[in-house]
Amino acid sequence: MLDSDCYRIMRIPMLSPARKTASLPSGLLLPYLDQGPRDAPPLVLLHGITDSSLSFEPVMAHLPGSLRVLAPTQRGHGDASAPDSYRVADFAADLERFLNEVGLERVVLVGHSMGAAVAQRFAIDHPKRVFGLVLVGAFAALRRNPACIEFGEATLASIADPLDPAFVREFQESTLARQLPEATLDRIVAEPEGAGAGLEGGVGWPA
């Protein structure tokens, strides 16, 4: 990035995201947050399991207005469509269709947890469409991760839609590095009722 680009990023004020919905050729509907000029460098944020685009809304408030930032809610989460299959490859295919729908050819991907797995899969399958890759709380493979295996066997097998809000709250709180404002946590807990479809389907088993 040129020094002039850095200066431009620092000078432009922050924006508030617009709430939109992408209709994919597969028939899936993916709500998403969209912030910044359409011709700005694009950054796409991918949330983790039981989350949605709401998880990134506080982060987007701190990003410069000279970036175009998009945060889609992935299949089986929040208000997104809930199909039958939840392989990592399915999420990556959704991402390709989403980028086509919003008219983005190359992006910087930021993935958290499950979103990191999706970002890695997409970068492997479509390297020419990725400017950069940021992985947060990432792992190389679910099937070789003892914690993921235990979570799948002990938790995923026993849940169904709609998710119990107490389960969502407990799960969210277990992943926090520091406490969220109560109002923010309440919104997250109330919003992802559809996430049970993704969880019950065993997100990422197999990748």
Residue 165 in any domain: the answer is: yes
Instruction: Give the full edge-to-edge strand order of the sheet including 42-46.
Output: 18-23, 29-35, 68-72, 42-46, 107-112, 130-136
Instruction: Look at residue 184 and give its three-state secondary structure.
Output: helix
Residue 84 in any domain: the answer is: yes
Q: How many domains does the chain have?
A: 1
Its sign, for the CA torsion 45, 48, 53, 56, is negative
Identify the CATH number of the domain in which residue 128 sits.
Answer: 3.40.50.1820
Q: What is the pLDDT of residue 98?
A: 98
Those residues whose C-beta lies under 8 Å from the C-beta of residue 143, and which sit 6 or more positions away, are 149, 205, 206, 207
Q: What is the pLDDT of residue 158?
A: 66
Residue 96 in any domain: the answer is: yes
Q: What is the pLDDT of residue 163?
A: 72
Q: What is the pLDDT of residue 159?
A: 66
Q: What is the pLDDT of residue 4?
A: 45
- Domain coverage including residue 28: 3-200
Q: What is the pTM of this model?
A: 0.81
Q: What is the pLDDT of residue 182?
A: 86
Instruction: Report the chain (207 residues): mean pLDDT per 10 consecutive residues.
Output: 45 73 97 96 94 90 94 94 92 98 98 94 97 90 72 68 78 80 82 52 47
Residue 180 in any domain: the answer is: yes
Q: How far apart are CA 129 and CA 42, in angstroms?
A: 11
Residue 207 in any domain: the answer is: no
Residue 65 in any domain: the answer is: yes
Q: What is the pLDDT of residue 200?
A: 46
The alpha helices in 85-194, defined as continuous H runs, are 88-102, 114-125, 146-154, 165-174, 182-190
Residue 85 in any domain: the answer is: yes
Residue 83 in any domain: the answer is: yes
